[in-house]
A and B are shown apart, each in its own frame.
Chain A
Amino acid sequence: MSEMTGTPIAHAPGFIANETPRIVTARFDYADSHTLERYEATDGYQALRKALEQTPEEVHSEVTDATLLGRGGAGFPAGVKWGFCPPGVWPRYLVVNGDESEPGTYKDRLLMELDPHQLIEGCLIACYAVGLSQCFLYVRGEMAVAQERVATALNDAYDAGYIGKNILGTEFSVDIVLHWGAGAYVVGEETALIESLEGNRGMPRLKPPYFPASIGLYGQPTIVNNVETLANLPWIVQHGASAFTAIGTESSPGTRMVAVSGHVKRPGVYEIVNGTTTFRDLLYGADMCGGIRDDNQLKAFVPGGGSAPWFTPDQLDLPFEASQVGPQGSMLGSGAIMVMDETADIPAAALTLTKFYAHESCGKCVPCREGGTWLEQILRRVVEGRGTPRDLELLIEVGETICPGDFPHAAVPSKGIEAVPFPYRMTTICFVGPSAFAPIHSALTLFREEFEAKVAGNEHPTMIEVAVDV
């Protein structure tokens, strides 16, 4: 293995700097990257000044032209999403989704801890462009340090005149309110986030009619954007859409942050070029993960957060491009890659994800509430050697009550298995239910022999015989 070249940044645990353009992580090298002083000394709030010299429509157009794809998971273009607000309906709100909880994902936490002013400037630009009159910045409950950094940054930015009444002496006035959650994965779903912000249990709403852009917070038009999405806005406004689209590909421009964890030599969060960087670059590149630990063989990887169907070495040359990953049976999701080497116990690894989604079910939809728990219980007995061959069929049957029809999966050329493209059909309101099934379906499809080995010889179902006196 060649010498590794990317640089781990000591005061940004997990983040590794490399040679690729850095749009959102540019300040991470500074130990005081989170302060207003550093932010102002490195072009901070210049994009806001520039935006305020333009009309809101001009700023909106710039963002639309940049094809900034949402970085939360769905990958929908932010400028287009902004345009869905119905004309003439006021007020409109901005809700910042900082409830990052998808297994394997952490980029929003770093952005909030290490460059909170960049996020705040992004929020201000969005509010100005779309006429959003109040912003709620929702930070995940379990991120105490991110809350502290964002609170400090908000206080400093208010004092400096960047937030609040008549920003920088203009007519533009907006408050940003720091709000935080209390531990619930499902609240990352945008309609559940709004429920939570209204003081309710974080249960998703049915879409339609509850598309937040038309019926969101308090029933008003509401833009919900991910932290990383908003953090890109200052750069786009300052350098222009064409500079942004010059990086990456036409359909996936710019950069994106990805977290690679599990069995690689150098797990880390990297800012990579969107659209062109491949999984092989990321997992084996000298400036990135540098290969699999102990030079072991790669067995499988989850390409887009815990909800994503799995890939094997056969898919390593796919780039970070939704239009190529989707047909191969998975998604890029939240930019989280979890890597399993040849030593990994595949059914046990699948269980660590299925139990996550079973635990995080909000309970609103029956197939998820019941099905998730069943999937976990059945898989657990298989993993512990108490399962039967019938259980392997049962896992699929239960999964099909959540996701009827063919479930997406990757191709395995050596076994003659062809890919089934993403996405899936579902009987639930949100993706939590299907996500409990995804790891099981992938693991069973790609590594069925490991499951069969665990149930071999257990022909009779494990059951307690109850004697009944009549």
Chain B
Amino acid sequence: MKFFTEENSSLAEEIIGRYPKPRSAMIPLLHLAQEQEGWVTDEAMAEIAELVGTTSAEVLGTCSFYEMFKRHPVGKYVINICTTMSCALMGAGDLMEHAELRLGVKSGSTTADGMFTLEGAECQAACTEAPCLQVNYRHQYRVTTNQFDALIEELSSSDHEVPEHGVLSQIRQHIPENRFVGVVPPEDVTAAPVWLNDNGSDQ
């Protein structure tokens, strides 16, 4: 039984084909697995290992290093409240307290209906718009407690554009075949690129 769907399998092959060494595709493939399932399963890691030519232990090693990869089911919407300096100075602590009360879970947990996972997060690069949060890695700025409640209402309805957890970029890179230069393993490259030679460079 394959983990990746047929469509994602061919996408995975396409992604691997962009790197001089297949292992470089590991993080993009872990994201693809998370997009398909909402979290990263053992089956996914085993298949990724096969695809990039390593062991599932190696994949777990990489996967477990990165905050965004969840190795257990999480809510449909992961809400990350920034808790680093600028947001803390502008009331992130109160916002987190309110969020815990509103959702009825402590930071780090998921609501019983599986809708929301609440997390304290580190700096999200929106420091002038503090306090900020992200829903599935999409920003909300200068969030008041009222706005937080409104956000939860909105996410609970179907009237919003936030994709489910796991979906990151909704646009995929597509390299047209006739434009693709292609990859060569580094050990097979011995000469300078042609445009340098043409210009008489000896480098």
Contacts and interface: CB of A to CB of B under 8 A. Distances in A.
Contacts of A133: 189, 193
Interface of B: 18-21, 23-28, 30-31, 52, 54, 61-62, 65-69, 80, 83-86, 88-90, 121-130, 134, 136-139, 141, 168-176, 178-184, 186, 189-196, 198-203
Contact of A161 (B179, B180, B195): B179
A90 B193 contact: yes
Contact of B123 (A56, A201, A306): A306
B84 A103 contact: yes
A74 interface: no
Interface residues of A, number: 88
A372 interface: no
Nearest to B123: A103
B68 A352 contact: no
Nearest to A170: B195
18 contacts: A13-B141, A87-B202, A91-B189, A101-B125, A109-B125, A142-B121, A158-B174, A158-B176, A163-B179, A165-B179, A172-B195, A173-B193, A180-B27, A181-B66, A202-B65, A263-B89, A267-B127, A306-B123
Nearest to B83: A352
A25 interface: no
Contacts of B69: 182-183
Contact of B62 (A105, A164, A200, A302): A200
B171 A152 contact: yes
Interface in A144-168: 144-145, 147-148, 151-152, 154-155, 158-159, 161, 163-165
Interface in A117-145: 128, 131, 133-134, 140-145
B179 A141 contact: no
Given A106-B126, A218-B21, A56 B199 contact: yes
Nearest to B175: A158
B76 to A, nearest CB: 16
A353 B127 CA distance: 13
Given A91-B193, A148-B169, A151-B169, 6 more contacts: A88-B203, A90-B191, A161-B179, A173-B181, A198-B21, A362-B65
A81 B121 CA distance: 34
Given A165-B180, A181-B27, A131 B172 contact: no
Given A88-B203, A103-B84, A340-B89, A177 B19 contact: yes
A196 B173 contact: no
